[in-house]
Structure 1
Amino acid sequence: MANQTVTSVSPTLSPSPGYGLVISSTVTGIFSAVGTIGNGMVITAFCTYRQVRTSANSFILSISISDIIITGFQYPVGMASSIIGAPSLGHAMCPVLGALFYFSIYVSLSSMVLIAFNRYIRVTKSPQTHMKLFSPFRSFLWILLSWVVSVLLVVPAFVGYGEFGWNRSRICGIMEGSPYSAHYVSTVYGTFYWLTFCVVVFLYVRIYLFVKHSVVTMAANQNLANPGQYVSERVIKQTKHMFIIFITFTVCTAPSVLLYSINVHVDFLPFGVIVVSFMLYRLNYVLNPFLYAWKLPLFKRAFKALIRCKRQLPFQPGAHVN
């Protein structure tokens, strides 16, 4: 896992020999299996159960699709390439695989922004405004826009601003031979990461400030003179859960993004530090579906129903879907 993890993003690492390759391949295989099963369950739950198909969960679906591209395709292909010492799908496919890796990252980042924006509108605006902006069709358009933006972000590396291909770390990724590869990582990949991070934090801070000045109550249990001024405790709880998922995403990814942005320009970071940071980065793709099951009750119910082969999500009194 160490070699696959680091070299998918970092062109500065050398392949680990002998037992290092065995450990790397074993960890990569575990991550691939667990991540593919978990993300596959998220996708299956969304497609199977009507209650799961909400606007907010459609953005989770987008993340899971991008994650399963990594765990179900990139991980096994990268592991095979590391073992044989050559692109397992051939050199012609290498630029495509490198671009696909970055594309998946951009989709995940864009989806985090959409989730935060969805929660911001849900908490601070009227239900009518939320439904107008995040109807099923418009949610699809938001997701489509995020995928189009993600495609556009990998285009520069195909027109001379960086280059995807087989690098010295025996992986299909950014090639160190291109004079603009380091700049692509810093100005396109790095800038987009930190920009989306700032936007998401800004939205959650706005939510926090709005809620802080609101009376938190359960409208169903009280006679409210003006229900519009209150924020449902359920909505706030779900928003907190999505924020925790975002924080976990940041903890897993921010160290490697920061360290790699430095290392592409000045190769001074210890090998062990880079290995650990990028192992943590890749772990994010495996953790996501289990975070949904842990923090989002609806997904927990859906996962249990899938395991029990239930075609319908069992009725649960008081359960909400959005």
Structure 2
Amino acid sequence: MPNASSWSASSPLLLLWEDSSGTRIFLSLLYAVLAISGTLSNVMVIYLVFSFKKLQTTSNAFIVNGCAADLSVCALWMPQEAVLGLLPPNSSSLRSAEYRLLRGGLLGLGLTVSLASHLLVAFNRYVLITKLPSVYQALYQRRHTGCMIGLSWALALLPVPLLPGLWTLGSAQSEGSSRYTALLLALAVLGQTALLLHCYLGIVRRVRGSAKRVSVLNFHLLHQLPFPAAPPPPRRAQRRLSSVSVLLLCCVFLLGTQPLVWVSLLGFFLRPAPPALQAASWLLLCSLSALNPLLYTWRSEEFRRAARSVLPRGEGPAAVPRPAAAAAGPAAQPLRPPPR
């Protein structure tokens, strides 16, 4: 029976087939909601960044890269999980090795690039706030930014040739490979989490007790994505720090990633965790793909202003009669009896 700690490519809904049909239907609906909301939010962020020049910053370029990766999970993988959870367990489509490989590849590719984008955004903000402006501009030139984004996809595509071996090996060997795959995944996410926390906590230490507050979630910074010329360095007094936003970002990231890390480590060194715990840990990790766009843009006034400009807005009925009353002048005033 497949181990649910190994990229979950072989068991839809991250559950074993002994679970009740009611549980599978509930998870199918949950995946459908996450797929719809995550697809809309990721597409909206990508559209806003490409449509408004003020949003075309290096930090937002990494956020767009993460949104593109999250679409692989929300728009391609989650709908399949929602549909497969409603099929009977003995369906032939569930036993196809090629189809399982495709779903596992979509999930692995999307999550790997998404997690790498988290780290790229954190390191970008760390360099911006803790280093000199000249260092930041030299490091984040246009070609360097493109290379970082391309490297995140290259590292995610690197294990793809190894995935078919997971389905052609025998059952015992496949289970052993899955355990080692889960261990490598846990160690990679754990190391990435340590680097991300180092960056954000370094930002907080840098600006603690200072009158110059820095915003790590609401950058009004360099418009250096096209990079026609090096822009002037920004004034730090114009940036604000929201410690609550930093803590929220770190807490949501930890909540989404760490359960899977420790479930995988527990399954490798001791014994496999209960299937429900494995399913919950994977569900938390996958839900990050739907939450990431809101997590990085909800405090940004630039994003809110851009979203308000493209979303339809209704006109209040009270705003229409006011000009008409003003244009009517004295005729609109109530009649009063003349003074005696």
- Bin for the TM-score computed over the shorter chain: 0.7 to 0.9
The residue aligned with 2:310 is 306
Structure 2 residue 234 is the aligned partner of structure 1 residue 200: no
Alignment partner, residue 46 of structure 2: 43
Aligned to 2:104: 98
Q: TM-score, normalised by structure 1?
A: 0.76
The yes-or-no answer on 1:52 pairing with 2:55 is yes
SS at match of 2:158: helix
Compared CA separation, residues 45 and 290, structure 1 to 2 (3 A): same
CA deviations over 1:192-216 (Å, ceiling 9, x no partner): 1111111112222332333237552
Any idea what SS the aligned residue of 2:212 has? strand
Superposition deviation, residue 34 in structure 1: 0.9
Preserved CA contact (<8 Å) 1:43 1:61:
yes
- Counterpart position of 1:234: 239
Q: Does the Cα contact within 8 Å between 1:122 and 1:130 map onto a contact in 2? A: yes
- In the alignment, structure 1 residue 177 sits paired with structure 2 residue 179: no
Q: 2:142 aligns with which of 136, 161, 174?
A: 136
Aligned sequence identity (%): 22
Q: Are positions 1:72 and 2:75 aligned together?
A: yes
SS of the residue corresponding to residue 260 of structure 1 reads helix
> Which residue of structure 2 aligns with residue 211 of structure 1?
207
User: Residue 6 and residue 293 in structure 1: after superposition, are their counterparts in 2 closer, same or farther (change >3 A)?
Assistant: farther
Task: Please name the residue that 2:320 is paired with.
Answer: none
Is it true that 1:297 corresponds to 2:294 in the alignment?
Answer: no
My pick for the range that moved more, 242-251 or 61-70, is 242-251
Please tell me the residue identity of whatever aligns with 1:148: A
1:127 and 2:130 correspond: no
Which secondary structure does the structure 1 equivalent of 2:28 belong to?
helix
Whole-angstrom distance in 1 between the partners of 2:251 and 2:106 = 25
Q: Deviations over 1:96-151 (max 9, x none)?
A: 32122112111112111111111111112222321222233321221111111122
Whether the 8 Å contact between 1:116 and 1:200 is mirrored in structure 2 is yes
- In 2, the alpha carbon distance for the partners of 1:284 and 1:199 equals 18
Q: SS of the residue aligned with 1:8?
A: coil
Contact 1:123–1:235 at 8 Å: present in 2 too? no
**Taking structure 1 as reference, are residues 103 and 246 closer, same or farther at Cα in structure 2, changes over 3 Å only?**
farther
1:87 counterpart residue number: 93
CA contact (8 A) 1:39 1:289 kept: yes
- Any conservation in 1 of the 2:73–2:111 contact (CA below 8 Å)? no
Bigger Rg over Cα: 2
Q: What amino acid maps onto 1:8 in structure 2? A: S
Superposition CA RMSD, Å: 3.4
Q: 1:205 to 1:154 in 2, by over 3 A?
A: farther
Matched residues, number = 285
Structure 2 contact 66–113 (Cα < 8 Å) conserved: yes
**2 CA distance for matches of 1:89 and 1:38?**
33
| Gapped regions of structure 1 (runs ≥ 5) | 169-174, 219-227, 310-322
Cα separation, 2, equivalents of 1:107 and 1:217: 31
Residue 270 (structure 1) aligns with: 274
SS in 2 for 1:269: coil
Gapped regions of structure 2 (runs ≥ 5) = 215-232, 314-340
